[in-house]
A and B are shown apart, each in its own frame.
Chain A
């Protein structure tokens, strides 16, 4: 008996929650929106999601083995999450070779080059998306029209996103109320019937996924809520000042991947701050930057850039939002 007893330090029990389980929860939370995108865009969406996940996992396996020379990490499912997220960020008619470049950038440059899971500064999927947006500007912004040409992949009818229509229209001197006739109604936006990338669609399904993640305690409310509230307030003020020039806050909340970004991308553990206070600073900053880029920037859409920019500030935010160490408050409250 004596030699068989296990000796180790306390604690002797562990939470059942593992990295793999957390990643699985993210995949579960994203599934309704992913399946809905296949309903909307048909074959193209299916090809994009499948290729993106498989290639991400393949690059992770390949680079971990031959570049990092570490044991394989594909079983932690983090590469599946990256692949799925990237798929949700591109149009359904994107050529496969561009998608492969994207997944290679996400896994290879975004993640492995920093040393693998947990070491990267930028969210790999967002980094790849921005890389692709700059490298393939036309392919990345030609959006298939939902529910049309669902049996086709590349040769589909395309149109602009609602945000693109507004941006272009305002630039040409048209009023918002006039432009609103050209874009889907708010309820259509809410249910996701609009032009855009796979994951920009159904706000309601993304919110459901977010609620699932909150219930499973995978994420906390701080980042998504602070982003969404900031965007709503900022665009609300602009809208009140001049409703002819600026779109209403609900429109901003429901378009341009804001839900996907705030619930699934900005909440990435590795690239977001540690404490609730830091997370709120992070979220508010992303919200402000998103609106600034959308309204005054060159791109119609700003969430990805905003998250990427704020990723770079995470170490700084962490530094200034450390938790208060117990018993170091100089004023000891004697009266409770």
Chain B
């Protein structure tokens, strides 16, 4: 089959998929969970429990506040010991519910815990969207945007195609890869559910060619799902970026400042699709996810199903402990992940992997002058000129930064990765984005008045 890809930009970092052949394992439940009340993009939820409350597995403990927000459910049965401020993966302090785990796990009764695959989709489109909202599903690829919002098509727009993102272009990470191999049919049923919710009759699963086993398995299973097709993609970072994936598969370009629905497409990640299957068919809220624990010196890297709120130290322990030469711990992949302050940080809905880097990989090389080699310009998948944006951000010339589309940066990091002078291009572009974003908001507010 013809491999597709996006035409402009992109880089080829080493893949380091150390855990591609490590089957999913269930991580033992720790004695205590720390559950931040904001795990999604949008507004934080409202806490429904208080100290000393007893909770069951799957019980709603944080309620969404408003449309762009998400419910959070307890992954365990136990007792709320305190509500405290903790440092999450973003490095900021957030409110969190601390739960002491009981020895015996009591589940909410309506959750179907059987392994049987349930194929019939009985809910209507509206009921599916409501269920997805109720079960606290957010985008599990890392952006954690509430999924029900993506399923609610704004008036005047029409969805023509659903794309399931199985690209997993970040080096090291393999959680989506393993899910596609081990939960193949569940993902296809999840895709059908999302199609029904969006009222579309076509879906494409995009998978990069470095996962031939997943492509093969998906192709075999889609024989029974003729409305879902599999599209193998040429390996290139950042193909998992929504805009790049849509361009690769359909040739359509999401307009600058627009959303995928503007070109008739909705994209969901395979992890999210599996969570949707579990929510709609099994009534199971999103309280656990697949997390890859990996790194060049990690003794037993692997893919684990971990409860939300598990400290990453528990995951590291399962992987054979923290290696001697550890210098950096990252939540997510090496291109877009966040460096963590310590190992107490809890796993949240957006944690696709924990990457442990040794000293030899933890530091950036010394910054050298720009030699104008244009590698950053050629690597930018958004058609920006990173060297120029960095220089205007350094000089704080914000109108030029805006003119040169700083807001279109998707922060994929291809420019900083490829720079032979090791210049902190993305750091300055982020600074530019934040400042220009604030200026634009201010301008809009003024014009409203």
A6 contacts B417, CB within 8 Å? no
Which A residues are CB-close (under 8 A) to B83?
none
With the chains together, A12 CA to B363 CA distance in Å?
8
B371 within 8 A of A: yes
Query: A10-B332, A327-B253 provided; 7 other pairs, C-beta below 8 A?
Result: A6-B327, A9-B426, A10-B335, A13-B335, A15-B420, A269-B371, A323-B380
Contact of A118 among B247, B357, B372 (CB under 8 A): B372
With the chains together, A26 CA to B341 CA distance in Å?
42
With the chains together, A269 CA to B378 CA distance in Å?
13
Which B residues are CB-close (under 8 A) to A7?
91, 328, 339-341
A76 contacts B368, CB within 8 Å? yes
B334 within 8 A of A: yes
Contact of B418 among A15, A73, A324 (CB under 8 A): A15
A155 within 8 A of B: no
- Knowing A325-B256, A327-B258, the reply to whether A11 touches B413 (Cβ < 8 A) is yes
A274 contacts B377, CB within 8 Å? yes
Output the least CB separation between A217 and chain B (Å).
9
Encode contact with A along B258-289: 1 for CB under 8 Å, 0 otherwise.
Answer: 10000110000000000000000000000000
Contact of B342 among A1, A118, A119, A273 (CB under 8 A): A1
A19 contacts B420, CB within 8 Å? yes
B369 contacts A117, CB within 8 Å? yes
Contact of A323 among B252, B342, B377, B417 (CB under 8 A): B377
Chain A positions 292-318 with a Cβ under 8 Å from a chain B Cβ: none
Which A residues are CB-close (under 8 A) to B336?
10-11
How many residues of chain B are within 8 Å of chain A by beta carbon?
A: 74
Contact of B361 among A13, A273, A329 (CB under 8 A): A13
B253 contacts A11, CB within 8 Å? no
Listed residue (A12, A322, A333) with the most chain B CB atoms within 10 angstroms of its CB: A12
B396 within 8 A of A: no
A169 within 8 A of B: no
B430 contacts A9, CB within 8 Å? yes
A334 within 8 A of B: yes
B384 contacts A18, CB within 8 Å? no
B61 within 8 A of A: no
With the chains together, A222 CA to B377 CA distance in Å?
16
Which A residues are CB-close (under 8 A) to B381?
326
Measured CB to CB, the nearest residue on chain A to B328 is A6
B327 contacts A5, CB within 8 Å? yes
Contact of A325 among B364, B383, B419, B430 (CB under 8 A): B383
A22 contacts B253, CB within 8 Å? no
Which A residues are CB-close (under 8 A) to B357?
12
Contact of B339 among A8, A15, A117 (CB under 8 A): A8
A13 contacts B334, CB within 8 Å? yes
Output the least CB separation between A333 and chain B (Å).
6
Which A residues are CB-close (under 8 A) to B416?
11, 14
Measured CB to CB, the nearest residue on chain A to B237 is A11
- Residues on B close to A: CB < 8 A? 8, 11, 13-14, 91, 171, 243, 247, 250-258, 263-264, 322, 326-330, 332, 334-343, 355, 357, 361-365, 368-374, 377-378, 380-385, 405, 408, 411, 413-414, 416-422, 424, 426-427, 430
With the chains together, A322 CA to B380 CA distance in Å?
12
B374 contacts A10, CB within 8 Å? no
Contact-residue bracket for chain A? 35 or more
With the chains together, A10 CA to B365 CA distance in Å?
14
Which B residues are CB-close (under 8 A) to A274?
372, 374, 377, 385
With the chains together, A11 CA to B329 CA distance in Å?
13
Output the least CB separation between B159 and chain A (Å).
13
Which A residues are CB-close (under 8 A) to B322?
1
A326 contacts B408, CB within 8 Å? yes
Listed residue (A2, A10, A336) with the most chain B CB atoms within 10 angstroms of its CB: A10
A275 within 8 A of B: yes
Encode contact with B along A271-304: 1 for CB under 8 Å, 0 otherwise.
Answer: 0011100000000000000000000000000000
A5 contacts B340, CB within 8 Å? yes
Which A residues are CB-close (under 8 A) to B328?
5-8, 12
Which A residues are CB-close (under 8 A) to B372?
118, 269-270, 274
With the chains together, A275 CA to B327 CA distance in Å?
38
- Knowing A1-B343, A19-B371, A323-B8, the reply to whether A10 touches B253 (Cβ < 8 A) is no
- Knowing A5-B342, A76-B368, A119-B369, the reply to whether A10 touches B385 (Cβ < 8 A) is no
With the chains together, A12 CA to B334 CA distance in Å?
5
Output the least CB separation between B401 and chain A (Å).
13
Give 8 A-B contacts (CB < 8 Å), ordered by A residue. A6-B339, A12-B355, A117-B368, A323-B384, A327-B243, A327-B255, A329-B253, A332-B253
B373 contacts A22, CB within 8 Å? yes
A172 within 8 A of B: no
Which B residues are CB-close (under 8 A) to A21?
420
Listed residue (A6, A8, A328) with the most chain B CB atoms within 10 angstroms of its CB: A6
B364 contacts A8, CB within 8 Å? yes
Output the least CB separation between B9 and chain A (Å).
8
Output the least CB separation between A110 and chain B (Å).
15
A326 contacts B251, CB within 8 Å? no
Output the least CB separation between B397 and chain A (Å).
16
Which B residues are CB-close (under 8 A) to A14?
364-365, 416-417, 419, 422
With the chains together, A18 CA to B250 CA distance in Å?
36
What 5 pairs between A and B have smallest CB-CB spacing?
A336-B251, A11-B413, A274-B374, A118-B369, A327-B256
A336 contacts B252, CB within 8 Å? yes
B413 contacts A327, CB within 8 Å? no
Which A residues are CB-close (under 8 A) to B340?
5, 7
Output the least CB separation between B127 and chain A (Å).
31
Contact of A269 among B326, B334, B374, B405 (CB under 8 A): B374
A325 contacts B408, CB within 8 Å? yes
